[in-house]
Chains A and B, each alone.
Chain A
Amino acid sequence: MLYSEKVMDHFRNPRNLGTIDDADAIGEVGNAKCGDIMKMYLKIKDGIITDVKFNTFGCGSAIATSSMATEMIKGKPVTEALKLSNKAVVEALDGLPAHKIHCSVLAEEAVKAALFDYYQKHPELEKPEGLSDCAACSGGCCSCH
Protein backbone atom coordinates (compact mmCIF):
# COMPACT_ATOMS: atom_id res chain seq x y z
CA MET A 1 0.00 0.00 0.00
CA LEU A 2 1.05 3.55 -0.71
CA TYR A 3 0.08 4.80 2.76
CA SER A 4 0.29 3.46 6.32
CA GLU A 5 -2.89 2.48 8.11
CA LYS A 6 -2.61 5.58 10.27
CA VAL A 7 -2.44 7.86 7.24
CA MET A 8 -5.48 6.14 5.74
CA ASP A 9 -7.33 6.43 9.06
CA HIS A 10 -6.71 10.19 9.29
CA PHE A 11 -7.55 10.56 5.59
CA ARG A 12 -10.81 8.63 5.89
CA ASN A 13 -11.79 10.10 9.27
CA PRO A 14 -10.15 13.49 9.48
CA ARG A 15 -10.05 14.93 13.01
CA ASN A 16 -10.98 18.58 13.60
CA LEU A 17 -12.32 19.08 10.09
CA GLY A 18 -14.14 22.34 9.53
CA THR A 19 -13.82 26.07 10.08
CA ILE A 20 -14.16 28.41 13.09
CA ASP A 21 -16.19 31.55 12.43
CA ASP A 22 -14.75 33.56 15.34
CA ALA A 23 -11.21 32.17 15.09
CA ASP A 24 -8.47 34.03 16.96
CA ALA A 25 -5.97 33.16 14.27
CA ILE A 26 -6.04 31.78 10.73
CA GLY A 27 -3.19 30.46 8.62
CA GLU A 28 -3.28 29.40 5.00
CA VAL A 29 -0.37 27.88 3.12
CA GLY A 30 0.18 26.16 -0.22
CA ASN A 31 -0.83 26.92 -3.74
CA ALA A 32 -3.67 25.54 -5.85
CA LYS A 33 -1.28 25.39 -8.78
CA CYS A 34 0.82 22.86 -6.89
CA GLY A 35 -2.20 20.87 -5.84
CA ASP A 36 -2.36 21.49 -2.11
CA ILE A 37 -3.68 24.22 0.18
CA MET A 38 -4.14 23.96 3.94
CA LYS A 39 -6.08 26.42 6.06
CA MET A 40 -6.04 26.30 9.84
CA TYR A 41 -8.32 28.06 12.30
CA LEU A 42 -7.31 28.47 15.97
CA LYS A 43 -9.10 29.49 19.14
CA ILE A 44 -6.56 30.61 21.73
CA LYS A 45 -7.25 31.42 25.37
CA ASP A 46 -4.62 32.31 27.98
CA GLY A 47 -1.87 31.07 25.69
CA ILE A 48 -3.56 27.68 25.18
CA ILE A 49 -4.95 26.43 21.84
CA THR A 50 -8.42 25.53 22.99
CA ASP A 51 -9.79 24.63 19.57
CA VAL A 52 -8.45 24.01 16.10
CA LYS A 53 -10.11 23.23 12.77
CA PHE A 54 -8.79 22.76 9.27
CA ASN A 55 -9.79 22.74 5.60
CA THR A 56 -7.55 21.16 3.02
CA PHE A 57 -7.45 20.92 -0.76
CA GLY A 58 -5.01 18.19 -1.63
CA CYS A 59 -4.06 14.58 -1.82
CA GLY A 60 -4.54 11.86 0.76
CA SER A 61 -1.39 12.69 2.67
CA ALA A 62 -2.18 16.42 2.66
CA ILE A 63 -5.49 15.69 4.36
CA ALA A 64 -3.96 13.17 6.76
CA THR A 65 -1.06 15.43 7.80
CA SER A 66 -3.45 18.36 8.38
CA SER A 67 -5.62 16.16 10.55
CA MET A 68 -2.67 14.80 12.54
CA ALA A 69 -1.16 18.28 13.01
CA THR A 70 -4.42 19.60 14.47
CA GLU A 71 -4.54 16.69 16.92
CA MET A 72 -0.98 17.34 17.99
CA ILE A 73 -1.54 21.01 18.86
CA LYS A 74 -5.06 20.93 20.28
CA GLY A 75 -5.04 21.77 23.98
CA LYS A 76 -1.35 22.67 23.87
CA PRO A 77 0.25 25.99 24.83
CA VAL A 78 1.12 28.20 21.88
CA THR A 79 4.80 27.95 22.81
CA GLU A 80 4.64 24.18 22.43
CA ALA A 81 2.68 24.29 19.18
CA LEU A 82 5.43 26.43 17.74
CA LYS A 83 7.81 23.52 18.20
CA LEU A 84 5.70 21.16 16.05
CA SER A 85 7.96 19.79 13.35
CA ASN A 86 7.03 18.07 10.11
CA LYS A 87 9.18 15.17 11.24
CA ALA A 88 7.02 14.68 14.32
CA VAL A 89 3.89 14.68 12.14
CA VAL A 90 5.42 12.07 9.82
CA GLU A 91 6.42 9.89 12.78
CA ALA A 92 2.97 10.16 14.32
CA LEU A 93 1.53 8.90 11.02
CA ASP A 94 3.93 5.92 10.91
CA GLY A 95 5.73 7.45 7.96
CA LEU A 96 4.94 8.90 4.54
CA PRO A 97 6.24 7.98 1.07
CA ALA A 98 9.33 10.06 0.17
CA HIS A 99 7.52 12.15 -2.45
CA LYS A 100 4.82 13.05 0.09
CA ILE A 101 7.08 14.50 2.77
CA HIS A 102 6.32 17.99 1.47
CA CYS A 103 2.73 17.54 2.68
CA SER A 104 4.01 17.27 6.27
CA VAL A 105 6.12 20.40 5.75
CA LEU A 106 2.97 22.14 4.61
CA ALA A 107 1.14 21.00 7.77
CA GLU A 108 3.92 22.42 9.96
CA GLU A 109 3.82 25.65 7.97
CA ALA A 110 0.04 25.91 8.28
CA VAL A 111 0.37 25.82 12.08
CA LYS A 112 3.21 28.38 11.97
CA ALA A 113 1.23 30.65 9.63
CA ALA A 114 -1.75 30.59 12.00
CA LEU A 115 0.48 31.35 15.00
CA PHE A 116 2.18 34.16 13.10
CA ASP A 117 -1.28 35.59 12.45
CA TYR A 118 -1.98 35.34 16.18
CA TYR A 119 1.16 37.29 17.12
CA GLN A 120 0.40 39.88 14.45
CA LYS A 121 -2.96 40.44 16.08
CA HIS A 122 -1.38 40.63 19.52
CA PRO A 123 1.54 43.03 19.31
CA GLU A 124 1.61 43.17 23.12
CA LEU A 125 2.95 39.60 23.14
CA GLU A 126 6.59 39.00 22.52
CA LYS A 127 6.92 37.27 19.15
CA PRO A 128 9.10 34.18 19.41
CA GLU A 129 12.38 34.35 17.59
CA GLY A 130 12.45 32.83 14.12
CA LEU A 131 8.68 32.74 13.62
CA SER A 132 8.12 33.77 10.04
CA ASP A 133 5.01 34.14 7.98
CA CYS A 134 4.80 30.98 5.90
CA ALA A 135 1.56 32.23 4.41
CA ALA A 136 3.40 35.16 2.88
CA CYS A 137 5.81 32.86 1.09
CA SER A 138 5.32 33.86 -2.50
CA GLY A 139 6.31 30.64 -4.20
CA GLY A 140 4.07 28.21 -2.41
CA CYS A 141 5.06 24.62 -1.86
CA CYS A 142 6.50 24.09 -5.36
CA SER A 143 9.44 26.39 -4.86
CA CYS A 144 10.16 25.31 -1.28
CA HIS A 145 10.10 21.54 -1.56
Chain B
Amino acid sequence: MKVYADNAATTKISDTAFNAMLPYFKEMYGNPSSLYTLGQKSQEALCSARETMAKYLNCDMKEITFTSGGSEADNQAILTGAYLGEKQGKKHIISSAFEHHAVLHTLKKLEKQGFEVTLLPVHEDGFVRPEELKDAIRSDTALVTIMYANNEIGTVQPIRELGAVCREKGVLFHTDAVQAAGHIKIDVKADNINMLSMSAHKFHGPKGVGMLYAKKGINLYTLIEGGAQERGKRAGTENVPAIMGMAAAFEESCKNLEKNFEYVKGLRDKVAAELSKIPHSKINGDITKGLAGTLNMCFEGIEGESLLLLLDDRGISASSGSACTSGSLDPSHVLLSLGLPHEVAHGSLRISLSEYNNEEDVAHIIKNVPEVVAYLRSMSPVWKDLTEGKKQYVIQ
Protein backbone atom coordinates (compact mmCIF):
# COMPACT_ATOMS: atom_id res chain seq x y z
CA MET B 1 0.00 0.00 0.00
CA LYS B 2 1.25 3.49 -0.91
CA VAL B 3 0.33 6.54 1.16
CA TYR B 4 1.48 9.95 0.04
CA ALA B 5 1.58 12.06 3.20
CA ASP B 6 3.91 14.86 2.17
CA ASN B 7 1.50 17.36 0.63
CA ALA B 8 3.26 20.30 2.28
CA ALA B 9 6.28 19.40 0.12
CA THR B 10 4.32 19.10 -3.10
CA THR B 11 1.00 17.76 -4.33
CA LYS B 12 -0.31 15.57 -7.08
CA ILE B 13 -1.66 17.64 -9.96
CA SER B 14 -5.47 17.55 -10.18
CA ASP B 15 -7.20 16.28 -13.33
CA THR B 16 -8.76 19.71 -13.78
CA ALA B 17 -5.38 21.44 -13.71
CA PHE B 18 -3.73 18.81 -15.90
CA ASN B 19 -6.44 19.02 -18.55
CA ALA B 20 -6.33 22.81 -18.49
CA MET B 21 -2.65 22.68 -19.42
CA LEU B 22 -2.81 20.23 -22.32
CA PRO B 23 -4.11 22.47 -25.16
CA TYR B 24 -1.21 24.87 -24.60
CA PHE B 25 1.52 22.38 -25.46
CA LYS B 26 0.64 21.26 -28.99
CA GLU B 27 -2.29 23.36 -30.14
CA MET B 28 -2.14 26.85 -28.70
CA TYR B 29 1.60 27.03 -28.35
CA GLY B 30 2.01 30.58 -29.68
CA ASN B 31 4.14 33.12 -27.90
CA PRO B 32 1.80 35.51 -26.06
CA SER B 33 3.95 38.41 -27.28
CA SER B 34 3.34 37.54 -30.95
CA LEU B 35 0.92 39.54 -33.04
CA TYR B 36 -0.71 36.77 -35.06
CA THR B 37 -3.77 34.82 -33.98
CA LEU B 38 -1.91 31.86 -32.50
CA GLY B 39 0.07 34.18 -30.24
CA GLN B 40 -2.94 36.25 -29.31
CA LYS B 41 -4.80 33.10 -28.26
CA SER B 42 -2.03 32.51 -25.72
CA GLN B 43 -2.25 36.14 -24.63
CA GLU B 44 -6.00 35.76 -24.08
CA ALA B 45 -5.40 32.57 -22.10
CA LEU B 46 -2.91 34.38 -19.86
CA CYS B 47 -5.42 37.14 -19.38
CA SER B 48 -8.13 34.70 -18.31
CA ALA B 49 -5.72 32.99 -15.89
CA ARG B 50 -4.83 36.35 -14.39
CA GLU B 51 -8.52 37.16 -13.99
CA THR B 52 -9.12 33.88 -12.20
CA MET B 53 -6.26 34.43 -9.77
CA ALA B 54 -7.40 38.00 -9.11
CA LYS B 55 -10.99 36.96 -8.53
CA TYR B 56 -10.15 34.48 -5.79
CA LEU B 57 -7.61 36.77 -4.09
CA ASN B 58 -9.93 39.81 -4.32
CA CYS B 59 -7.50 42.00 -6.24
CA ASP B 60 -7.09 43.53 -9.66
CA MET B 61 -5.53 41.43 -12.42
CA LYS B 62 -2.94 44.15 -13.00
CA GLU B 63 -1.68 43.48 -9.50
CA ILE B 64 -0.57 39.95 -10.42
CA THR B 65 2.89 38.99 -11.67
CA PHE B 66 3.46 35.41 -12.72
CA THR B 67 6.74 33.91 -11.52
CA SER B 68 8.59 30.60 -11.56
CA GLY B 69 7.24 29.79 -8.12
CA GLY B 70 7.04 30.83 -4.49
CA SER B 71 10.77 31.32 -3.97
CA GLU B 72 11.09 33.78 -6.84
CA ALA B 73 8.00 35.66 -5.66
CA ASP B 74 9.43 35.87 -2.11
CA ASN B 75 12.78 37.13 -3.40
CA GLN B 76 11.14 39.74 -5.61
CA ALA B 77 8.74 40.98 -2.93
CA ILE B 78 11.40 41.31 -0.25
CA LEU B 79 13.96 43.00 -2.47
CA THR B 80 11.21 45.35 -3.67
CA GLY B 81 10.25 46.30 -0.11
CA ALA B 82 13.88 46.70 0.90
CA TYR B 83 14.96 48.88 -2.03
CA LEU B 84 11.83 51.04 -1.92
CA GLY B 85 12.56 51.64 1.75
CA GLU B 86 16.21 52.36 1.11
CA LYS B 87 15.26 55.25 -1.17
CA GLN B 88 13.61 56.85 1.85
CA GLY B 89 16.51 56.04 4.14
CA LYS B 90 14.70 53.08 5.72
CA LYS B 91 16.87 49.99 6.12
CA HIS B 92 15.11 47.91 8.76
CA ILE B 93 13.10 44.78 7.98
CA ILE B 94 10.95 42.70 10.31
CA SER B 95 10.24 39.02 9.78
CA SER B 96 9.75 35.92 11.92
CA ALA B 97 12.13 33.25 13.17
CA PHE B 98 10.44 30.42 11.29
CA GLU B 99 10.11 31.74 7.76
CA HIS B 100 10.95 29.65 4.72
CA HIS B 101 14.56 29.85 3.53
CA ALA B 102 13.40 31.74 0.42
CA VAL B 103 12.67 34.57 2.86
CA LEU B 104 15.45 34.05 5.41
CA HIS B 105 18.24 33.73 2.84
CA THR B 106 17.03 36.84 0.99
CA LEU B 107 17.13 38.68 4.31
CA LYS B 108 20.67 37.41 4.93
CA LYS B 109 21.67 38.83 1.55
CA LEU B 110 20.14 42.18 2.49
CA GLU B 111 21.99 42.17 5.82
CA LYS B 112 25.23 42.02 3.86
CA GLN B 113 23.99 45.11 2.02
CA GLY B 114 23.63 47.02 5.28
CA PHE B 115 20.01 46.27 6.12
CA GLU B 116 19.07 45.43 9.69
CA VAL B 117 16.74 42.50 10.25
CA THR B 118 14.59 41.76 13.29
CA LEU B 119 13.18 38.23 13.55
CA LEU B 120 10.12 38.08 15.78
CA PRO B 121 9.76 35.05 18.07
CA VAL B 122 7.01 32.55 17.32
CA HIS B 123 6.68 31.16 20.84
CA GLU B 124 5.97 27.56 21.80
CA ASP B 125 2.61 27.53 20.02
CA GLY B 126 4.02 28.74 16.70
CA PHE B 127 2.46 32.21 16.32
CA VAL B 128 3.78 35.73 15.85
CA ARG B 129 2.09 38.17 18.25
CA PRO B 130 0.63 41.36 16.67
CA GLU B 131 1.57 43.39 19.76
CA GLU B 132 5.19 42.24 19.44
CA LEU B 133 5.16 43.33 15.81
CA LYS B 134 3.80 46.70 16.87
CA ASP B 135 6.64 47.12 19.36
CA ALA B 136 9.26 46.08 16.81
CA ILE B 137 8.26 48.58 14.11
CA ARG B 138 10.59 51.58 14.00
CA SER B 139 10.60 54.84 12.07
CA ASP B 140 13.12 53.27 9.68
CA THR B 141 11.23 50.01 9.11
CA ALA B 142 10.92 49.44 5.37
CA LEU B 143 9.12 46.11 5.26
CA VAL B 144 7.41 43.46 7.34
CA THR B 145 7.38 39.94 5.88
CA ILE B 146 5.59 37.19 7.80
CA MET B 147 4.36 33.92 6.37
CA TYR B 148 0.64 33.17 6.18
CA ALA B 149 1.02 29.57 7.36
CA ASN B 150 4.13 27.72 8.41
CA ASN B 151 5.38 24.97 6.12
CA GLU B 152 6.56 22.56 8.81
CA ILE B 153 3.99 22.88 11.57
CA GLY B 154 1.06 24.44 9.69
CA THR B 155 0.18 27.21 12.16
CA VAL B 156 -1.82 29.98 10.44
CA GLN B 157 -0.60 33.40 11.50
CA PRO B 158 -2.94 36.22 12.54
CA ILE B 159 -2.31 37.85 9.15
CA ARG B 160 -5.25 40.26 9.23
CA GLU B 161 -4.14 41.67 12.60
CA LEU B 162 -0.48 41.79 11.56
CA GLY B 163 -1.50 43.52 8.33
CA ALA B 164 -3.59 46.01 10.28
CA VAL B 165 -0.61 46.88 12.47
CA CYS B 166 1.49 47.51 9.35
CA ARG B 167 -1.24 49.60 7.72
CA GLU B 168 -1.62 51.71 10.85
CA LYS B 169 2.15 52.27 10.98
CA GLY B 170 2.44 52.84 7.24
CA VAL B 171 4.86 49.95 6.65
CA LEU B 172 4.76 47.64 3.61
CA PHE B 173 3.50 44.18 4.46
CA HIS B 174 4.42 41.04 2.53
CA THR B 175 3.27 37.51 3.29
CA ASP B 176 4.62 34.22 1.97
CA ALA B 177 1.31 32.42 1.42
CA VAL B 178 2.80 29.36 -0.28
CA GLN B 179 1.30 26.93 2.26
CA ALA B 180 -1.95 28.82 2.77
CA ALA B 181 -3.07 29.57 -0.80
CA GLY B 182 -5.72 27.18 -2.02
CA HIS B 183 -6.16 25.80 1.50
CA ILE B 184 -7.68 28.68 3.44
CA LYS B 185 -9.58 31.78 2.35
CA ILE B 186 -7.29 34.66 1.39
CA ASP B 187 -8.61 38.14 0.71
CA VAL B 188 -5.71 40.53 0.19
CA LYS B 189 -7.86 43.60 0.89
CA ALA B 190 -9.55 42.36 4.04
CA ASP B 191 -6.24 40.84 5.21
CA ASN B 192 -4.40 44.18 4.77
CA ILE B 193 -1.77 42.55 2.55
CA ASN B 194 0.44 44.64 0.25
CA MET B 195 2.38 41.78 -1.34
CA LEU B 196 1.73 38.04 -1.36
CA SER B 197 3.64 35.07 -2.79
CA MET B 198 2.20 31.73 -3.80
CA SER B 199 3.16 28.56 -5.63
CA ALA B 200 0.91 26.34 -7.76
CA HIS B 201 2.28 22.92 -6.84
CA LYS B 202 1.14 23.24 -3.23
CA PHE B 203 -2.52 23.21 -4.28
CA HIS B 204 -2.54 20.51 -6.96
CA GLY B 205 -1.20 22.71 -9.74
CA PRO B 206 2.02 22.16 -11.70
CA LYS B 207 5.56 22.77 -10.40
CA GLY B 208 7.68 25.68 -11.58
CA VAL B 209 4.97 28.34 -11.53
CA GLY B 210 3.74 30.80 -8.94
CA MET B 211 2.77 34.41 -8.61
CA LEU B 212 3.34 37.59 -6.72
CA TYR B 213 0.50 39.89 -5.83
CA ALA B 214 1.67 43.48 -5.40
CA LYS B 215 -0.84 46.18 -4.53
CA LYS B 216 -1.29 48.90 -7.15
CA GLY B 217 1.35 51.59 -6.74
CA ILE B 218 4.14 49.27 -5.56
CA ASN B 219 6.90 49.52 -8.13
CA LEU B 220 8.35 46.02 -8.23
CA TYR B 221 12.10 45.48 -8.33
CA THR B 222 13.02 43.42 -11.38
CA LEU B 223 14.91 40.18 -10.76
CA ILE B 224 15.00 39.04 -14.39
CA GLU B 225 15.78 41.62 -17.03
CA GLY B 226 14.75 41.19 -20.64
CA GLY B 227 11.52 41.58 -22.56
CA ALA B 228 8.41 43.48 -21.57
CA GLN B 229 6.48 40.48 -20.21
CA GLU B 230 4.57 41.00 -16.97
CA ARG B 231 4.58 44.80 -17.49
CA GLY B 232 8.36 44.71 -17.63
CA LYS B 233 8.61 43.35 -14.09
CA ARG B 234 9.46 39.77 -14.97
CA ALA B 235 11.06 39.13 -18.32
CA GLY B 236 10.94 35.82 -20.15
CA THR B 237 8.32 34.15 -22.32
CA GLU B 238 5.46 33.18 -20.07
CA ASN B 239 5.04 29.52 -19.13
CA VAL B 240 1.52 29.44 -20.54
CA PRO B 241 0.62 25.78 -19.87
CA ALA B 242 1.82 26.03 -16.26
CA ILE B 243 0.02 29.31 -15.68
CA MET B 244 -3.20 27.79 -17.07
CA GLY B 245 -2.71 24.80 -14.78
CA MET B 246 -2.18 27.07 -11.79
CA ALA B 247 -5.33 29.10 -12.47
CA ALA B 248 -7.43 25.96 -12.93
CA ALA B 249 -6.02 24.40 -9.74
CA PHE B 250 -6.54 27.60 -7.76
CA GLU B 251 -10.13 27.99 -8.91
CA GLU B 252 -10.88 24.35 -8.10
CA SER B 253 -9.26 24.62 -4.66
CA CYS B 254 -11.00 27.88 -3.81
CA LYS B 255 -14.41 26.55 -4.87
CA ASN B 256 -13.97 23.56 -2.56
CA LEU B 257 -12.15 25.31 0.25
CA GLU B 258 -14.53 24.65 3.15
CA LYS B 259 -15.40 21.13 2.04
CA ASN B 260 -11.75 20.12 1.63
CA PHE B 261 -10.75 21.77 4.91
CA GLU B 262 -13.32 19.86 6.93
CA TYR B 263 -12.56 16.55 5.23
CA VAL B 264 -8.77 16.82 5.50
CA LYS B 265 -8.95 18.10 9.06
CA GLY B 266 -11.05 15.07 9.98
CA LEU B 267 -8.35 12.74 8.66
CA ARG B 268 -5.51 14.71 10.24
CA ASP B 269 -7.19 14.89 13.64
CA LYS B 270 -7.59 11.11 13.67
CA VAL B 271 -3.88 10.64 12.94
CA ALA B 272 -2.99 13.24 15.59
CA ALA B 273 -5.18 11.59 18.23
CA GLU B 274 -3.79 8.11 17.58
CA LEU B 275 -0.11 9.06 17.29
CA SER B 276 -0.39 11.15 20.44
CA LYS B 277 -0.92 7.87 22.29
CA ILE B 278 2.74 7.03 21.62
CA PRO B 279 4.49 7.63 24.96
CA HIS B 280 6.78 10.66 25.12
CA SER B 281 5.50 12.16 21.90
CA LYS B 282 4.42 15.71 21.27
CA ILE B 283 2.52 17.70 18.62
CA ASN B 284 4.51 20.74 17.53
CA GLY B 285 2.58 23.98 17.32
CA ASP B 286 -1.10 24.56 18.03
CA ILE B 287 -2.86 22.55 15.33
CA THR B 288 -6.28 23.82 16.36
CA LYS B 289 -5.28 27.08 14.68
CA GLY B 290 -3.45 25.52 11.77
CA LEU B 291 -3.82 24.24 8.24
CA ALA B 292 -6.14 21.25 7.95
CA GLY B 293 -3.62 18.71 6.70
CA THR B 294 -0.37 19.41 8.51
CA LEU B 295 0.75 17.47 11.57
CA ASN B 296 4.25 17.74 13.02
CA MET B 297 5.24 15.53 15.93
CA CYS B 298 8.36 14.68 17.90
CA PHE B 299 9.09 11.22 19.30
CA GLU B 300 11.72 11.25 21.98
CA GLY B 301 14.72 8.94 21.70
CA ILE B 302 14.74 8.43 17.92
CA GLU B 303 16.07 10.20 14.86
CA GLY B 304 13.89 11.38 11.98
CA GLU B 305 15.77 10.14 8.94
CA SER B 306 15.75 6.50 9.99
CA LEU B 307 12.04 6.92 10.79
CA LEU B 308 11.37 8.23 7.26
CA LEU B 309 13.37 5.45 5.60
CA LEU B 310 11.50 2.74 7.48
CA LEU B 311 8.15 4.39 6.79
CA ASP B 312 9.11 4.55 3.11
CA ASP B 313 9.73 0.79 3.24
CA ARG B 314 6.14 0.49 4.43
CA GLY B 315 4.83 2.69 1.61
CA ILE B 316 4.46 5.95 3.54
CA SER B 317 6.00 9.16 2.14
CA ALA B 318 6.50 11.75 4.88
CA SER B 319 9.09 14.26 5.97
CA SER B 320 11.18 15.26 8.99
CA GLY B 321 13.03 18.23 10.40
CA SER B 322 16.02 16.21 11.58
CA ALA B 323 19.51 17.39 10.71
CA CYS B 324 20.18 14.32 8.60
CA THR B 325 17.26 15.10 6.33
CA SER B 326 18.28 18.73 5.97
CA GLY B 327 21.84 17.89 4.96
CA SER B 328 23.25 20.02 7.79
CA LEU B 329 24.21 19.30 11.36
CA ASP B 330 21.36 21.30 12.84
CA PRO B 331 17.75 20.22 12.94
CA SER B 332 15.03 22.40 11.43
CA HIS B 333 15.12 26.08 12.40
CA VAL B 334 11.33 25.97 12.62
CA LEU B 335 11.35 23.38 15.39
CA LEU B 336 14.20 25.14 17.20
CA SER B 337 12.23 28.41 17.01
CA LEU B 338 9.48 26.72 19.06
CA GLY B 339 12.05 26.20 21.80
CA LEU B 340 12.52 22.48 21.22
CA PRO B 341 15.96 21.16 22.21
CA HIS B 342 18.11 19.76 19.39
CA GLU B 343 17.86 16.14 20.54
CA VAL B 344 14.06 16.27 20.45
CA ALA B 345 13.87 18.17 17.15
CA HIS B 346 15.95 15.39 15.53
CA GLY B 347 13.07 13.00 16.21
CA SER B 348 10.43 14.88 14.26
CA LEU B 349 7.94 13.66 11.70
CA ARG B 350 5.76 15.80 9.44
CA ILE B 351 2.67 14.21 7.98
CA SER B 352 0.75 16.44 5.58
CA LEU B 353 -2.51 15.19 4.11
CA SER B 354 -4.70 16.42 1.28
CA GLU B 355 -8.17 15.75 -0.13
CA TYR B 356 -6.61 12.88 -2.10
CA ASN B 357 -6.00 10.94 1.11
CA ASN B 358 -8.64 8.67 2.64
CA GLU B 359 -9.53 6.64 5.72
CA GLU B 360 -7.43 3.70 4.49
CA ASP B 361 -4.37 5.94 4.36
CA VAL B 362 -5.08 7.11 7.89
CA ALA B 363 -5.38 3.51 9.09
CA HIS B 364 -2.05 2.62 7.43
CA ILE B 365 -0.30 5.57 9.08
CA ILE B 366 -1.81 4.87 12.47
CA LYS B 367 -0.73 1.24 12.30
CA ASN B 368 2.81 1.75 11.04
CA VAL B 369 4.16 4.87 12.74
CA PRO B 370 3.89 3.47 16.29
CA GLU B 371 5.52 0.19 15.19
CA VAL B 372 8.47 1.93 13.56
CA VAL B 373 8.90 4.33 16.49
CA ALA B 374 8.92 1.37 18.91
CA TYR B 375 11.47 -0.52 16.78
CA LEU B 376 13.84 2.45 16.56
CA ARG B 377 13.50 3.06 20.27
CA SER B 378 14.40 -0.57 20.94
CA MET B 379 17.81 0.02 19.34
CA SER B 380 18.38 3.53 20.67
CA PRO B 381 20.93 4.02 23.47
CA VAL B 382 19.22 7.35 24.22
CA TRP B 383 15.89 5.62 24.77
CA LYS B 384 17.61 2.99 26.96
CA ASP B 385 19.08 5.73 29.15
CA LEU B 386 15.67 7.43 29.38
CA THR B 387 13.82 4.27 30.35
CA GLU B 388 16.50 3.35 32.90
CA GLY B 389 16.28 6.79 34.47
CA LYS B 390 19.83 7.76 33.54
CA LYS B 391 18.46 10.70 31.57
CA GLN B 392 15.37 12.84 32.08
CA TYR B 393 12.59 12.83 29.49
CA VAL B 394 12.13 16.17 27.75
CA ILE B 395 8.64 15.21 26.56
CA GLN B 396 6.58 13.85 29.44
Contacts and interface: CB of A to CB of B under 8 A. Distances in A.
B is bound to A: yes
B198 to A, nearest CB: 30
A57 B301 contact: yes
B19 interface: no
A55 B322 contact: no
A32 B343 contact: yes
B153 to A, nearest CB: 19
A58 B323 CA distance: 10
A53 B205 CA distance: 50
Nearest to B309: A60
A11 B324 CA distance: 15
Contacts of B341: 33
Given A39-B381, A57-B381, A57-B382, A34 B303 contact: no
Interface string A56-80: 1111111100000000000000000
Interface string B275-313: 000000000000000000000000001111110011001
A125 to B, nearest CB: 27
B379 A14 contact: yes
Given A34-B329, A59-B324, A28 B381 contact: yes
B346 interface: yes
Contact of A32 (B305, B306, B382, B384): B382
A59 B322 CA distance: 9
A19 B329 CA distance: 28
Contact of A37 (B313, B324, B327, B382): B382
Interface residues on A, range: 20 to 34
Interface residues on B, range: 20 to 34
Given A59-B305, A63-B306, A142-B329, A12 B313 contact: yes
B380 interface: yes
Given A34-B329, A59-B322, A17 B379 contact: yes
Interface of A is mostly: mixed
Contact of A57 (B303, B327, B329): B303
A35 B381 contact: no
B342 interface: yes
B381 A59 contact: no
A59 B306 contact: yes
B356 interface: no
A8 B105 CA distance: 34
A18 B3 CA distance: 31
Contact of A35 (B303, B310, B313, B379): B303
A111 B306 CA distance: 22
A36 interface: yes
A99 B323 CA distance: 11
Given A14-B379, A63-B306, 12 more contacts: A11-B309, A17-B379, A34-B323, A35-B343, A35-B346, A37-B381, A38-B381, A55-B381, A57-B302, A57-B382, A59-B303, A62-B303
Q: Which 6 A-B pairs have the closest CB atoms?
A: A59-B324, A32-B343, A59-B305, A39-B381, A57-B380, A35-B346
23 contacts: A17-B379, A33-B342, A35-B324, A35-B342, A35-B346, A37-B382, A38-B381, A55-B380, A55-B381, A56-B379, A56-B381, A57-B381, A57-B383, A58-B303, A59-B303, A59-B305, A60-B306, A60-B324, A61-B324, A62-B306, A62-B324, A63-B306, A63-B379
Interface of B: 301-306, 309-310, 313, 322-325, 327, 329, 331, 341-343, 346, 379-384
